Every structure is written in structure tokens, then in C-alpha cells.
Amino acid sequence: MLSFVTSKDEQTLAIEVEGKVTKDDLKKFDNVVFEKFRNDEKFNVYAVIGDIDGPTAGAMFEELAVDAKRWSQYNKLAVVSEKDWLDKVSGAIDKLPGVQAEHFPIDQMEAAWDWIKER
């Protein structure tokens, strides 16, 4: 499940992810992005990721569609989690053009906010 939480920065969507992410979760994410940033404004994502299950097949296709459509809008992605494999994913994303990504342990939530708010 993907849920939105209070953001500390107007250019940043703050989310928490727990359990299974569904196609509906990703559609909701895309709708919120469109409402706040339309189709051309850059934005950041601050994601706190807990225990997650594999996404549903529909969610995987929806995620690919959302990412492809919004890729030019992503600026920074801060991933806060104790999951070591997410550090590798963040490192891979950081190598893609136009997006900065960093992984932070759960005890460094404020450092993640500080990094994401750096212009």
C-alpha cells in the first residue's frame, strides 16, 4: 500500500510504502503528481519503505507507464529504509539521466529531508 504523508517541502511528494503496491496505488500517485505539478514541473519523492511484498502484475505495468510518462519530471528521490537491496536500486537510479537518488537508513530521516531540500 502506498500512502501520502505530510511533506516538509512544496516540491516534494512524501510517501510511505508498506505491504503490496497495487495498480490503484500507482494511479493515485500519478493523479497527485498531475494535480500538483501538471505535466512539466519537476518534483522530488521522499519515500519511506517498510516491509514490502512483490507488486501485483497490474502494478508493475502501471509503474512502468507512470515512470515513462513522468521521468522527465523527477528531480530527486530519497529512499528511507532498512532494506539493503534498496541502496543498490537507489544507486542504479542515480546513474540514469536527470534523476538524483540516495538511500538513507531509517535513523537518518532528517538527513534525507536535508538532502532532498538542497537545490
pLDDT at 39 over 90: no
Average pLDDT along the chain: 83
Residues 45/12, Cβ–Cβ less than 8 Å: yes
Rounded to an integer, what distance in angstroms lies between the CA atom of residue 108 and that of residue 102? 12
The total number of structural domains in the chain stands at 1
- C-beta atoms surrounding 63 within 10 Å: 17
pLDDT (average), residues 6-20: 94
What order do you get walking across the sheet with 12-19 strand by strand? 2-5, 12-19, 43-52, 74-80, 100-104
Q: Tell me, what CATH number does 101's domain have?
A: 3.30.750
Q: Closest Cα to residue 13, out of 37, 35, 45, 38?
A: 45
What global pTM score does this model have? 0.83
pLDDT at 114 over 90: yes
Task: Provide the domain limits for residue 95.
Answer: 2-117
Between helix 57-70 and helix 23-37 the angle, nearest 10°, is 20
Q: Percent of the chain scored above 90 by pLDDT?
A: 40
pLDDT, tens only, 59-106: 554 565 556 677 788 899 898 988 776 656 666 666 666 778 888 999
Res 83: pLDDT: 75
